[in-house]
Amino acid sequence: MFTKKETQAVTYLRKGKMSYTMIALLLSLTRDAVRDYCIEQNINGDKAKAAPKKRRRYNCVCEYCGKPVNNNFLKNGRKNRFCCEQCRRRWWAEHPENKIRRETAFYHFTCKRCKEEFTAYGNKYRQFCSVNCAVNYRYYD
């Protein structure tokens, strides 16, 4: 598969903590060939031990209950504002005025049952103004 020089070079470079891709680029080989050879020969890169996990730091408090909040970032890149999901839900339930609502997401309808006009936010497929109207229309009318 490889020449003797190539096998020696791959072994030396891999033990020197070099990646498969870098070795392949240096020796004009494919990354997969280098990887397969290293796995076959049980040549590890002798990577340094993973750094110990950092301790969690609490530098902010929950906006609802005041408990310390883990300062890890959420998936969307924002910092946590609340210590738990319950606090987040309770805070938003008590502060609906802080929700940013777009004007284009308000829809105006006429109820199928009571024929009254109503406005709904974020749902352009509504047919009834309330659950009561929907149940009465379906079962009693």
pLDDT tens-digit readout, 79-134: 788 888 899 999 999 998 888 888 888 999 999 999 999 999 888 999 999 999 99
State residue 72's pLDDT score.
65
Whole-angstrom distance, CA of residue 29 vs CA of residue 56: 43
pLDDT tens-digit readout, 25-74: 889 899 899 888 888 888 876 554 444 555 555 567 888 998 888 766 66
State residue 48's pLDDT score.
42
Contact 31, 24 (CB under 8 A): yes
State residue 49's pLDDT score.
44
Tokens of 134: 């929907």
State residue 74's pLDDT score.
62
Contact 111, 129 (CB under 8 A): yes
The CA distances from residue 37 to 15, 23, 61, in Å, are 13, 12, 52
